Structure 1
Amino acid sequence: MRPLKILIASDSVGETGENVARASLAQFNISSVKEVMIRYPYIDSEETIDDMIVVAKENDAIVVYTMVKPDMKAYMERRMVEENIPHIDVMGQLLEMLSVRLDEVPFYEPGLVHQLDEDYFKKIEAIEFAVKFDDGKDVSGLEKADIVLIGVSRTSKTPLSQFLAHKKYKVMNVPVLPEVNIPKELLEIDPKKCVGLIIDENKLNKIRKERLQQLGLNSAAQYAKNERIKEEIAHFKKIIERIGCPVIDVSDKAIEETANEIIKYIDNQRDIKG
């Protein structure tokens, strides 16, 4: 039996072709699929194709390919026929069928599926980040965060963090309390990625009383008293002055409104910086 080698050729990363090859190899008694496979990604010129042809011939390989650029694909197919290299196109026929059925011309852009995947994984990463660094649990998140939200309790820091995470921003939120010193790292990071959240004292009083009732606690607790709220807001303002970041009043804003305001500010800072 001739030694088996499968060369995965692609103008992107080659994952699609490799997955098809792996699924096929699973139907046979192959001890090490990894040793059988040769991946040849990011083919973008005739010279690269010629190099791939040499590798395929040297290994007596079957070529499994996913090429979407018509000119590169045509050149590769012609060269493989000339060199008598066994080959299979795992996307071509389906692309042609879809083009006919949809009455559309394909984009012919390599790697689009991986761009979508990357977008998805960035979102998941941001969501996990928001959970991990909620309420200032780990100060190491300050340096890694795209946005740092600062505010007293019940200023929508957590829901804002999650909303922004779905927009692929890594967000850490830091609660401010008079009895607790803010982490020194907060004063060392770029203040342009920090945003303070403030709320009307009367509205905060109402929100906190409702929260205490939901928890089955006395709504007259210190947490919801006007004097306590005034103390917290005054302390918050001092902290924000030290940091030197903007403040958004969330009193009468929906989460989406506040988030859009934050995004506009952060993106503008990036444009200025970049």
Structure 2
Amino acid sequence: MSSEFNRMGISDPEVETPVPKHKVSPQLNRWSRARAMRSGRKLGGSSCKVSVAERNREVGRPLGSSVSISSSGSEEETVGKAIYMVSDGTGWTAEQSVKTALGQFEHCLLDRGCPVNTHLFSGVDDVERLIQIIKQASKEGAMLIYTLADPSMSESAKQACKIWNIPSTDILSPITEAISSHLGITPSGIPRGAPGRRNSYLGEDYFRRIEAIEFTIKQDDGAMPENLHKAEIILTGVSRTGKTPLSTYLAHKGYKIANVPIVMGIELPKTLFEVDQRKVFGLTINPNVLRSIRRERAKSLGFCDEIKSNYSEIDYVRQDLEYATSIYALNPVWPVIDITAKAIEETAAVILRLYHDRKRKCSMPRISKRY
């Protein structure tokens, strides 16, 4: 086994070798200090001398447990599992993948008090730092999720996790290899945003997103209706149907978004009906849910009782939604999306699918006008 470590340039895990202070990862060090303070342990030097796993072994606790000190001075144990996310870039892919996957365990994580601690290590571009993180993961009993474009870095992570018996998942390599095989092209192995890479963070996509965000901010809440023809997607709906946050989310993906509120007694701008109607989308919501949202909004804005009752009472809410429904009925080309049980990401996914299907003229047959 020692020969395997030597070939990779990794010290044997059974032999503790001191790491020079100047080579300790600042991010790892900060995290270790935070864990130490939460566990009530004293700090020695720039990093913790005793890991949580070692402390747990001393007192017979399972791996993944952490200890906090209550106000009375007694120890309170919180059993949780750690997930390390390692990336040679920003770590966005790894972070979003883990976040999406954890969504499948909400029934356990929330209802049964089974905490999970996630820790992101971004910009990991040398093997030495990678190994430091993996060694720490081994001590903490953590799982490792990594997105490393450099094949040698990815292989080092794989082998180190195998040697130290760390559960791990390589997110990037399988899909990269599959696409490489399909296209018949060898991947570059260069991380996104690396110096000299053509599609860097300051490339065409970056500036397109900035332009889209600036446009979307200026077009928020029906402002500047004369510019609706410049928008790629137009959202309509009554107050508090999530038009602004949805617009912002889509703008960060590089789409120029305008949103137009539907208000009883106020005519919609004529330009809304003069633009390409295939880029207009209507939003609706369950009246009871909308009533709750509006009540909280009215409370936060300090509305007086008269305005509050008009704005958030169920009868007025229903009239508002019925008025919007009548407008949607007069414009059957507009898809109507019910956002009641949807996250912003889900609503955005529906809109983008319909938007691109229409652009390519390959729309699937529609069972219902509502999505």
- Scaled by the length of structure 1, what TM-score is found? 0.58
Other-structure match for 1:261: 350
* Residue in structure 1 matching 2:248, options 158, 162, 168: 162
Shift of 1:213: 1.1
Return the match for 1:175 from 261, 272, 277. Answer: 261
Cα distance in 1 for partners of 2:201, 2:302 equals 48
Task: Give how far 1:141 is off.
Answer: 2.4
Q: Could you tell me which of 337, 351, 357 is aligned with 1:248?
A: 337
Work out which of the residue numbers 282, 288, 310 in structure 2 matches 1:202: 288
Query: How much identity, in percent, do the aligned residues show?
Result: 41
* 2: CA distance, partners of 1:224 / 1:105: 55
Partner SS, residue 158 of structure 1? helix
Name the residue aligned to 2:319: 231
Note closer, same or farther for the CA distance 1:111–1:222 as it changes in structure 2 (3 Å cut). Answer: same
Partner of 1:4: none
C-alpha contact 1:149 1:174 (8 A) present in aligned 2: yes
Higher relative contact order (CA 8 A, sep 6+): 1
> AA paired with 2:337?
I
Rounded to whole Å, the distance in 2 between the matches of 1:263 and 1:222 is 34
Residue 273 of structure 1, CA deviation: 7.6
Cα distance in 2 between the residues matched to 1:157 and 1:231? 19
CA contact under 8 A between 1:130 and 1:162: conserved in structure 2?
yes
Q: Partner amino acid for 1:138?
A: M
TM-superposed deviation, 1:217: 2.6
Tell whether 2:364 aligns with 1:272.
no
Q: CA RMSD in A?
A: 2.8
Unaligned runs of 5+ in 1: 1-98
The structure having more radius of gyration, on CA atoms, is: 1
Kindly provide the CA deviation profile for residues 240-260 of structure 1, in whole angstroms up to 9, marking residues without a partner as x. Answer: 222321100001111111111
Q: TM-score normalized by structure 2?
A: 0.43
More helix by share: 1
Q: Deviations over 1:200-243 (max 9, x none)?
A: 00110110001111122346421111221122111111222223
* Residues 215 and 271 (structure 1), Cα distance of their counterparts in 2 relative to 1, 3 Å cut: same
Q: Structure 2: which 5+ residue stretches go unaligned?
A: 1-149, 154-185, 190-195, 364-371
Match of 1:125 among 206, 211, 233: 211
Aligned pairs for 1:1-274 within 5 A: 112-113=198-199, 117-218=203-304, 220-244=308-332, 245-272=334-361
Distance 2:230 2:331 in 1: 17
Superposition deviation, residue 112 in structure 1: 2.1
Give per-residue Cα distances to partners, 1:108-151, cap 9 Å, x unaligned: xx982479511000000111111000011111221011100000
1:223 partner amino acid: Y
- Number of equivalences: 174
